Chain A
């Protein structure tokens, strides 16, 4: 009876945790609830474990519990993985903010042989619909526009 109470308390904590996680990851909540409720069932009705095991083709009730434990471990791993991904997203946002705040504008470091916007030939800018606002107009030479 003492063991059943202790285990029930632990399973209740898992259920509470699962409920708290619903907004972040519904799938983790659902899986946690399923395995916790299975835990409650087998804690309070241990004799059913063998019957359920036979029903699903496992044989021994102890083996069934072992498999359920393996499932619980996988849910825990999934939860940890999703938490890591969430942390990585935050890290990405931080890195992006740093990168955008320190953007380099090397316009003046351009080598002399590389064209500037205003010195592009008319042929290169021959599509008037996309013409840059500072590009030469048709009929106007690059020098005139510079």
Chain B
């Protein structure tokens, strides 16, 4: 499957009130030739309607559950469709479709099951200082808790093989899913590789992104997730 070709590549785009960005994001992905499933996470605006005209498929949560839940739904859908490779891609416009081939290349050349985007292996554009400090702290936390050697732990652009996706057990609905996903990669003992990607920080993507207080909630969510089965 992995040595010569990926016959089915699905890009999972979780979306919540993304009507102002989703058209350009999905259009670029479709022009690049990928199947795109948009997971509308109970948006109150017309995200779903806009996605319906462009994406390969639209899956809609009846209520807002969070980005982690939307990603899991999209991954499940892609697996149902027989995806060989699943790419997760934010819909706020911070990722570039042109980075995806590098992730796919990395999966093949490293015989890996996960290719994780890292903004710190390339030059981050317009990254606010506070965001850099928080991400640095998150990276230290992840390295300490999972043992994974990573430079960027909260990057939404990743690619995973079918086997990798099937190995993930994701329960965190909200922002803690990024850390949980890395913990699951560590647990699975499957091979992973980091790939340089570019993040375009815009006023819009920064407004949609995580805030300082979110990191406290992420830690509490991760802790609570450990306390029950």
**Contacts from A to B (Cβ < 8 Å):** 23-25, 27-28, 78, 81-82, 85-86, 88-89, 91-92, 95-96, 98-100, 102-107, 109-111, 114-115, 117, 120, 124-125, 127-133, 135
Interface residues of A, dominant DSSP: helix
Judge if B46 is at the interface, Cβ distance under 8 Å: no
> Can you identify 18 A-B contacts, CB atoms within 8 angstroms?
A85-B224, A86-B228, A92-B65, A95-B61, A96-B76, A99-B59, A104-B57, A105-B56, A105-B57, A106-B53, A114-B30, A120-B31, A120-B33, A128-B5, A129-B5, A129-B104, A130-B6, A132-B33
B173 adjacent to chain A (CB < 8 Å): yes
Contact B227 A27 (CB under 8 A): yes
Q: Which residues of B contact A88 (CB under 8 A)?
A: 173
Q: Which A residues lie within 8 Å of B199 (CB)?
A: none
Query: Considering the chains assembled together, what is the distance between the CA atoms of A129 and B105 in angstroms?
Result: 9
Q: How many residues of B contact A (CB 8 A)?
A: 44
A125/B57 contact (C-beta < 8 A), A82-B224, A100-B73, A132-B7 known: no
Query: B185 on the interface (CB 8 Å rule)?
Result: no
Q: Does B69 contact A (CB under 8 A)?
A: yes
Instruction: Give the docked Cα–Cα distance between A24 and B229 (Å).
Output: 5
Q: Which residues of B contact A (CB under 8 A)?
A: 4-9, 27, 30-33, 35, 37, 39, 52-63, 65, 69, 72-73, 76-77, 80, 101, 104-105, 108, 171, 173, 224-225, 227-229
Please determine whether A96 and B60 come into contact, CB atoms closer than 8 angstroms.
no
**Residues of B with C-beta under 8 A to A105:** 56-57
Quick one: which of A115, A130, A133 has the most chain B CB within 10 A? Answer: A130
- Across the interface, B65 reaches (CB within 8 A) one of A24, A95, A127, namely A95
The reply to whether A106 and B59 form a contact with Cβ atoms under 8 Å apart is no
Min CB distance B149 to A, Å, is: 27
Bound together, the chains give a CA A124 to CA B35 distance in angstroms of 14
Q: Are A117 and B228 in contact (CB under 8 A)?
A: no
Residue in chain B with minimal CB distance to A117: B33
* A78 to B227 Cα, complex, angstroms: 9
**Bound-state Cα–Cα, A135 to B37, Å:** 19
Residues of B within 8 A of A24 (CB): 228-229
Asked if residues B224 and A81 are in contact (CB atoms below 8 Å), the reply is yes
Do B101 and A124 have beta carbons less than 8 Å apart? no
Is B171's CB under 8 angstroms from A23's CB?
no
Alpha-carbon distance A92/B170, docked complex (angstroms): 12
Most buried by B among A88, A96, A120, A128: A96
Q: Are B63 and A130 neighbours in the complex by a CB distance under 8 Å?
A: no
